Each structure stands twice: as structure tokens, then as C-alpha cells.
Amino acid sequence: MTIEAPAPVLPLLRTGEDVPDDVTYVPSTPATVLWGRLPGRDDVPVARIDPGDLVVVDTTSHEGLMDDQGGDPVVFFSRHGVDEGDVLEDAIAIARDVPRTEWDGPHVVTGPIAVDGARPGDLLAVTIEALEMRAPYGVVTTRHGRGVLVGDSRVDADHSAFCRVEGDGTTGSMALHTDDPDGARATFPLAPFLGVIGVAADQPGRPHSTPPGRHGGNLDIALLTVGSTLFLPVQVDGALLAVGDPHFVQGDGEVALTALEAPLRATLRVEVVPAVDAAALRAVEGPFAVAQGLLVPTGLSENLELALRRCVSNAVSLLTSLVDIEPRQAYLYLSAAADFAVTQAVDIVKGVHGAIRLSDFPELRPGPMTDHVVRALERSALDAAATEAAR
């Protein structure tokens, strides 16, 4: 059966197109990406920026490039009615020219980008200033027995769904039946974000791209839309930032294995929080974020219950660092007024994130770290309000 794809609602955003002249630009090319691995401490940066700079980064999805999909995105997407000219050239080049072994993860990651002056003990504050969709389609998939419903014969198989961007570019759609791709479709709002945002781990070699960790990496926090800021503990000189695993939307849990995987261009503002300021955060382990007007602690572990425990512990530590509140009162407040959700349950190391309203408190502790968080809160609240008003 020949599938006739509808006219796309947005054009491809190709390498180098519409990039401002006054920012550092990092394309996704065979020379600037890693496939299945994240940067290690010995990697040579593909670009350098100063703290506070904007950087524009292209990212490429791995879907359509993988060996079990044929390894050729032109052939893969042609089965879904996509013309060869509507497949990104960087996806074609990466599939053809970037080596990947069966021991590597799936994610295509752009970087590393060195941030001058960043040192271990600092925090890297990565603010998502803009996200642009680079193609009018994407893929959701389950494979390798990695979804939550392993062993359930109704769904436990290698299976993918081609999804289209509809209308004004804010809606996605998926066919209800695989044998009727042009029939009835589910529609859902899009909320783009980067699944992978990380710094280099202080270890020899390159970490696998799938499990997240103290370095960040494949965190898959769907709250990290435009306006959000992710705070990452710097582990090596220059931080060596890398981003990828672009998504058009993801539900908390990411239960089947992937989100709606599709390419994005990200405009990021990268700042350094000095170690002397970061020291005000008592016993906070790993990344945390400010997103959509909320403080977002994280917890990571191969055991989901332990991930929740670590997230709640980090939430208590963050609250008592930023607010004049007893730890036991903070714990009770979290139980009454904060939310904790499964971030993802499929990336070997599972994730839980919290959502805390700092506006619930009469005042915050004064200090430079609080100032960093408040500025991030103000940015994220403005973007959340603008997004809500546009719906």
C-alpha cells in the first residue's frame, strides 16, 4: 500500500538555516555528534562559549536511523509517505558515517561544548530559551522488551508509530490502527523538550547514553520546556555540555520506551553558578531544575522506590536550603502540597521528579544561590503563562 502523506504544516529546518549571526552555532553533523555515548573527561570540545552566552544547537533523533529500522532514514520514512527531500540531511549523514556498536545506546548527542571557567564544584545552569521543530513528523516506539509491560502479549513486541505534526504546529496525531494509517487518529498537544542535557562525567571513556546520573544525561524530564533551567553539578573543567534525544512530547513515565522522538533546534543560555554559591545547597545530590514556575528535584536509581526516596530527600534538602523551614516541617509540607511523579521507568536507571511551589512560602533565604533560583523561577513562570495563554 502506498501512503500519501498530507502536506507538511511546517518546513524542514535544515543545517545552518535561519541561525542568528551573533550566537555560537553547533550543527548536528558526523563531526559534532556522539551516537550512543555521552562525553567523557578527555573529549575535545566541538565549540567553546563564555558563561552567559547563548548557543544554538541542532539535535537529531535516532528514530529511523537505528539498525533494527534498516539503518537508512530515507528508506524508513519513505514507508510513511515522506519524500527523500523531506528527510534531514544530517540524519542521513549520521546514519551513514557515525560508528555505533551493539553496546552503545540509541541517542544522538550534539557536543561536547566547553564553558570557559566552569570548574568542578560549580553548577552549570542551562536555560532553554527556544525550541524549534526541525521536521513535521516523528516516531514513538517500543523495542527490546524495554517497556513497562514486558511480557504482556498485547503490546510486548518491537513496534513503532509514525506521528504527524498537525494544524498550526502545536498538535500531534497518531493512527488508531496500524493497518489504516490514514484513518481515525488520536490528537494530542505537543510540548517539545530535550531528553538529554548533561555534562561530562569525571571518568575515563564515554558513559553509555541511556542511564541518567549525577552528570544529568538522559533525564527525560518532560517539564523542561521553553523557559526552564536545569542545574547540573560540574565534574570536569569546562563542564563539556552535550544535548540530544529531542522530543516533541512525552508523558511522565515514558512507559512504552520512547517519547515522540523528533528533531529540534535548541537555543540555550548557559551560565555558571560558582561553587561558593552552590555550597548553600545542603546535601542536594545530582541535578535539579526550575520549570513552569516550579522547583523540580530529581531522584535516580535502578530501583524505582529508591529513586522516589532520593527525590524526596533532595526535595527536603532544597527546601531547607532555600526556605527557613525545619526539615521535619518541610517533609510534612511536601506530603501535603507537592507532587512527585515517575519521570521515566525505562532507562535502566529510573527517575522520579518533584514539583514544588516556592510561592507557597512567605520569603526565601537571602543569598546568591537563592537569587539564581528566583531568576530562573521568574523566567519559567513567564514562559508557562505565555504558553497557557496561547492554547
pLDDT in tens, the chain (391 residues): 344 455 566 899 999 999 999 999 999 999 999 999 999 999 999 999 999 999 999 999 999 999 999 999 999 999 999 999 999 999 999 999 999 999 999 999 999 999 999 999 999 999 999 999 999 999 999 988 889 998 898 987 889 999 999 988 999 999 999 889 989 999 999 999 999 999 999 988 999 999 999 999 999 999 999 999 999 999 999 999 999 999 999 999 999 999 999 999 999 999 999 999 999 998 999 999 999 999 999 999 999 999 999 999 999 999 999 999 999 999 999 999 999 999 999 999 999 999 999 999 999 999 999 999 999 999 898 777 666 665 5
Are 39 and 133 within one domain?
yes
Q: Are 247 and 332 in a shared domain? A: no
Residues 116 and 260 placed together within one structural domain of the fold? yes
Number of domains in the chain: 2
Examine residue 295 and state whether it is found in any structural domain, yes or no.
yes
- 133 with 258, same domain: the answer is yes
Sign for the pseudo-dihedral over CA of 180, 186, 191, 194: negative
Residue 183 resides in a domain: no
Residue that finishes a domain, picked among 233, 252, 276: 276
Residue 241 maps to a domain: yes
Report the distance separating Cα 317 and Cα 288, nearest Å. Answer: 11
Which CATH number goes with the domain that contains 249? 2.60.120.580
Q: 218 and 322 share a domain?
A: no
Q: Are residues 248 and 331 in the same domain?
A: no
- Same domain, yes or no: 45 and 131: yes
Domain that holds residue 306: 280-390
| pTM assigned to the model | 0.95
Torsion angle in degrees (nearest 10) through CA of 329, 330, 331, 335: 100
d(CA 216, CA 31): 23
Is 32 part of a structural domain of the chain? yes
Beta bridge partners of 260: 249
Residue 259 sits in the same domain as residue 335:
no
At a CB cut-off of 8 Å and minimum separation 6, what does 233 contact?
123, 124, 199, 214, 215, 278, 286, 287
* 154, part of any domain: no
Both 198 and 342 in a single domain?
no
Task: Assess if residue 64 is contained within a domain.
Answer: yes
Return d(Cα 276, Cα 311) in angstroms, integer.
24
Instruction: Specify whether the CB–CB gap between 143 and 68 falls below 8 A.
Output: yes
In a domain, 292, yes or no: yes
Can you give the CATH number for the domain in which 297 is found?
Answer: 3.10.28.20
Note whether 75 and 84 are within 8 A (CB).
no
Count of alpha carbons within 13 Å of 254, Cβ hemisphere only?
Answer: 29
Which of these three, 222, 244, 276, is where a domain ends? 276
Count Cβ neighbours within 10 Å for each residue of 182-194 and write b for 16 or more, e otherwise: eeebeebebbbbb
Whether residues 269 and 295 share a domain: the answer is: no
Distances in Å between the Cα of 21 and the Cα atoms of 15, 25, 145, 175, 367 are 14, 9, 45, 41, 36
Q: How far apart are CA 380 and CA 375, in angstroms?
A: 9
Which of 255, 276, 297 corresponds to the end of one domain?
276
In a shared domain, residues 338 and 376: yes
Look at residue 174 and tell me if it is in a domain: no
77 and 133, same domain (yes or no): yes
